[in-house]
């Protein structure tokens, strides 16, 4: 799943791929089983293009409106781009999300399942989804309660939505290990083999605990610009 073009190396991308490969080897895993999602939220086309030129094709966005403004043009140039929705998704954005994204990582409630199912049927475009779990039970974060997982998986199956794995974001400024381990256990318990977990600061730890999709932004693109003043 890791994209690499040795003739058009991008130093940041090469560095992250190297770290992914090392973490995978330490965990006795195949690096090719780990997908690197470059988190391009708030990044413009000029910032994204160097990764595309280097051969990378998996990108993640947090907002439908922002993604719709920049990715259709880039997809004309690079039609094999795979775009992942990793942010909270409003049900009224389901039509745009189904049309634009190739995977959704933030499915977390019945109303969103129903809205996405209607649009997938209407557009005849059925895309894989991850169930987002509020692994730290934080009121300010999206994701379903752990106890809601079985019912949501049942509803998704009845609605024709393929749930391929679980996604979570551990609480900030805490040791992520217990949360990654819990998400991995929950996935095993429910017969799911994909785990979307790990970001710039902890993706190597996530890989050692079973991550199949890591979401890396700052380590690839650098710090985001802070508004003046």
pLDDT tens sequence across 90-118? 999 999 999 999 999 999 999 999 999 99
Residue with tokens 């910032």: 47
Cα 220 from Cα 223, distance rounded (Å): 9
Instruction: Please calculate the CA angle 37-104-179 and round it to the nearest 5 degrees.
Output: 70
Q: How far is CA 201 from CA 70, 112, 130, in A?
A: 26, 30, 22
Provide the residue count of the chain.
Answer: 229
Neighbours of 63 (CB within 10 A): 16
Q: Name, in order, each residue with C-beta under 8 angstroms of 104's C-beta and a sequence gap of 6 or more.
A: 84, 85, 89, 97, 116, 127, 128, 129, 130
If DSSP codes are grouped into helix, strand and coil, which group holds residue 212? coil
pLDDT confidence tier of residue 223, bands split at 50, 70 and 90: confident
Q: Exposed, middle or buried by CB within 10 Å (0-12, 13-18, 19+), for 72?
A: exposed
Neighbours of 142 (CB within 10 A): 18
Write down the pLDDT at residue 6: 46
Write down the pLDDT at residue 205: 98
Structural domains in the chain, CATH included, are: 6-221 (3.20.20.10)
Percent of the chain exceeding pLDDT 90 equals 90
pLDDT confidence tier of residue 139, bands split at 50, 70 and 90: confident
């Amino acid at each position: 799943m890791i994209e690499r073009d040795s003739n058009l190396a991008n130093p940041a991308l090469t560095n992250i791929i190297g770290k992914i490969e090392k973490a995978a080897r330490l965990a006795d895993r195949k690096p090719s089983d780990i997908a690197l999602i470059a988190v391009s939220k708030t990044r413009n086309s000029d910032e994204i293009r160097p990764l595309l030129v280097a051969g990378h094709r998996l990108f993640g966005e947090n907002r439908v409106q922002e993604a719709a403004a920049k990715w259709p043009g880039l997809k004309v140039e690079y039609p094999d781009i795979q775009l992942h929705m990793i942010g909270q998704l409003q049900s009224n954005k389901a039509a745009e999300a189904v049309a634009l994204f190739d995977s959704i990582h933030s499915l977390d409630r019945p109303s969103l399942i129903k809205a996405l199912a209607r649009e997938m049927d209407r557009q005849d475009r059925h895309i894989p989804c991850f169930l987002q779990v509020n692994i730290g039970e934080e009121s300010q974060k999206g994701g379903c309660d752990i106890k809601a997982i079985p019912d949501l998986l049942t509803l998704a199956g009845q609605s024709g939505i393929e749930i391929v794995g679980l996604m979570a974001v551990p609480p900030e400024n805490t040791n992520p290990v217990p949360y990654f381990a819990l998400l991995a256990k929950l996935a095993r318990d429910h017969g799911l083999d994909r785990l979307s977990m790990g970001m710039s600061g902890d993706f190597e730890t996530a890989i050692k605990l079973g991550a199949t999709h890591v979401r890396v932004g700052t380590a690839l693109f650098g710090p985001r610009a802070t508004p003046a003043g």
